[in-house]
Structure 1
């Protein structure tokens, strides 16, 4: 049943018609519930409110798979403005960005030029920029770009996905760079040739990656809503005597808010993934596909006052 639910929401996420309808009519429904705003300026107050509660954030301008140079350049300018606002407003926030939004599928030189401009600004303001991971066919290119940028910039991090067979090897290869890593289970529909089809295997690999990342001495962001994974991380850190400043938890804005605050109260670093923009539909469907429990969390978020 879980596989059917996952496939259903992944199918919905690819509907161009539904995405366009959501862009035109759905922004007011989800703003303040699962997205912070339709642009970054309108999202700043929500980020400040989260920061005031001890919650750090990472912000993400929704939208991916850009297919025009002009749009990629526009996204780059918007990212630079966002970083400048984070610095000016002294927000406790990182920024996440997808390489396809900067032109990964268009031209290698274009995406390198755009990301270089973003990272130059990020270094100036001391803002971490996380290169988000997308589907498996783009994984190798994304990691190669990360390694290239990591040679010149300290303010760049990336994401590894537990459902891919390759990830344990990727983690080992990256460990010498001492990167800031966000570990996730994975949200795209992938074939069994490249990804674990069964949840139990994904969970087992996720635990393995958390342990290896911590043992490598990497700063590790455990991005999950799964209580089993949260408790596993706490117990593992205690067992290995890993200090709380070597890892953090990450969750989505609008989901498990009380748990986020509880973790802060317990002395853990808690970072909220705060999306904004009009292209929220595909993101939302993939979050529902990731874990059936997210459906109830999302529904509660949408109906709250």
Structure 2
């Protein structure tokens, strides 16, 4: 098993997710999650804004299977939108359709999404649709297409590990897009498995959208890709108001501030809430080097205990399956 699959396995472990929700703050999750409620999150956003950094806010949660939970998530996101407006912070929101009923009923999900997008539109707030695993990909694009007939304050994510990513970048070039490598375990029939090819495809997507697209969010912690983008925009005289760099809250804080001070638009992806464990494990799966990037900021003695428990539980589960 490679390291990426290991962390994805941890992200899907229900016991560990429940354990992390209960003991998250004690385990050091505040280093990667901007609080558990709207008030705490808004304070973190204000601090980032004061440093010249904008934010995209994620009310953590996904793969909801009950309507009541989806409605609760919708109401929480509406509260976030109101808070962005009332506090006049430089921020927009990122949402996951699976948190809002995509796996329950697509029309139910669409109505929840419409209510969110409509309220955000009234306040001139942008809404980004996070992309999840391949099984939800086409449904998510369908939801975006339907809402785009009514609203123009929405955008989405293109994941470079998909073979079809170049097709998506052309189809959605008139949208504001976040470009990423991808953080889920996908079969080789539909996605690149080789890091070099994933990186090459990401660079292609970035260059294409910078030259032909509306606005590009370059979401990476990879120095090589960041430096490539810097040179590319200089060589092609691409104005800085056409793109931004984007990183995760709690990751590479010094570099985030450095890029903002260099005059680049910078946006921090700010998650908040108690459902942080799966999110964090997928960030490590997406780029295992992230372990090194957050080691000093995230991993304290208690957090190391959590990772140790996680590893032990996951490996024990694997061994049990093999014995059956």
What range describes the TM-score normalised by the shorter chain of this pair? over 0.9
Q: Residue 31 of structure 1 contacts residue 38 of structure 1 at CA under 8 Å; is this kept in 2?
A: no
Structure 2 matches for 1:119-268, cutoff 5 A? 119-175=117-173, 178-268=174-264
Query: Secondary structure of 1:95's match?
Result: strand
Selected match of 2:63 from 65, 78, 98 = 65
Q: Residue 28 of structure 2 contacts residue 299 of structure 2 at CA under 8 Å; is this kept in 1?
A: no
Residues of 1 paired with 2:76 and 2:55: CA distance? 18
Residues of 2 paired with 1:303 and 1:294: CA distance? 12
Query: Secondary structure of 1:32's match?
Result: helix
Give the greater-gyration-radius structure (CA).
Answer: 2
Structure 2 matches for 1:83-98, cutoff 5 A? 83-98=81-96
Question: Moved runs in structure 1, 4+ residues, more than 6 A?
Answer: none
Structure 2 matches for 1:3-42, cutoff 5 A? 4-42=2-40
Offset at residue 80 of structure 1 (A)? 0.6
Deviates more, 1:31-40 or 1:152-161: 31-40
2:275 aligns with 279
Query: Secondary structure of 2:279's match?
Result: helix
1:114 aligns with 112
1:154-206 CA deviation, whole Å, 9 max, x = no partner?
A: 2111001000001100111122xx11000000000001011001000000100
Q: Residue 29 of structure 2 contacts residue 276 of structure 2 at CA under 8 Å; is this kept in 1?
A: no
User: What's the TM-score, normalizing by structure 1?
Assistant: 0.96
2:319 aligns with none
**Aligned pair count?**
300
CA RMSD of aligned residues (A): 1.2
Residues of 1 paired with 2:10 and 2:108: CA distance? 31
User: What's the TM-score, normalizing by structure 2?
Assistant: 0.90
Residues of 1 paired with 2:49 and 2:30: CA distance? 15
Residues of 2 paired with 1:93 and 1:267: CA distance? 18
Offset at residue 109 of structure 1 (A)? 1.2
Residues of 1 paired with 2:223 and 2:201: CA distance? 16
Q: Residue 19 of structure 1 contacts residue 281 of structure 1 at CA under 8 Å; is this kept in 2?
A: yes
Q: Residue 225 of structure 1 contacts residue 251 of structure 1 at CA under 8 Å; is this kept in 2?
A: yes
Query: Secondary structure of 2:224's match?
Result: helix
2:45 aligns with 47
Offset at residue 259 of structure 1 (A)? 0.5
Offset at residue 253 of structure 1 (A)? 0.5
Residues of 2 paired with 1:88 and 1:257: CA distance? 27
